[in-house]
Amino acid sequence: MATELEELIGFLSAPSPPVKKAAVDIVRDSTGSEDGLHSPSNHANTVLPSLSRLLSDDKEVSEPAAEALVNLAQNAGLAAKMVEMGLIKIAMDMLYKPGSSITRLLVMLLVNLTQLDDGISSLLQIGDDKMQGLYVMKLVRSFCRSSETSASHSFITPLQDDPFDHVGSILVNISKKE
């Protein structure tokens, strides 16, 4: 017999958008607490891929999925599983997808994942001589461009925060590795 959490995880793949949205909202809300961070640990092999698939969905589903992943990435064990399953590549691909509405959350996810040595190696693309450093170059370019844009628009309100402003934290994290 399936537990409540297993049933909930099953609803993340539901064909019905309202059911999927309700399920991802519940998962996101539960990951906001200490207990909520521990309960998905036993189901990481199903919940993490389900949430990562939802990142390419409509904003009403992708945003709570990204928020849940950001929260879950605070747990080192879950963050390691995310790195292992290729979530850094997924996040980087989604970051530069035209019309992405979850840029800020994806950058925050990368901040959490680069707290781990394996996350740093993955972001730096160590071991791939042809691609090594490409992700970091893209992030730095986006960070610099968005800083220039916000400097030239001094009327920007706090509600229009720069989605790449957390890239600085990623750079701090990766600078810890030789």
Domain of residue 15, CATH code = 1.25.10.10
Give the residue among 70, 67, 53 at the shortest CA–CA distance from 25: 67
Q: Answer whether 110's CB lies under 8 Å from 91's CB.
A: yes
**Any domain includes 42:** yes
pTM for the structure as a whole = 0.89
Cα distances (Å, whole numbers) of residue 6 to 30, 31, 129: 14, 15, 41
> How many domains are contained in the chain?
1
Mean local confidence (pLDDT), 100-117: 96
CA 69/CA 112 separation, integer angstroms: 10
DSSP string, 34-66: HHHHHGGGGGHHHHHHHHHHGGGS-HHHHHHHH
**Any domain includes 151:** no
**Any domain includes 153:** no
pLDDT tens per residue across span 126-136: 988 899 999 99
**Any domain includes 101:** yes
**Any domain includes 152:** no
**Any domain includes 137:** yes
Query: Residue 156: its pLDDT value, please?
Result: 47
Residue 31 zone, left/alpha/beta (φ > 0; ψ -120 to 50; rest): alpha
- 34 or 19, higher pLDDT: 19
Domain that holds residue 128: 4-146+161-177
Whether pLDDT at 150 is above 60: no
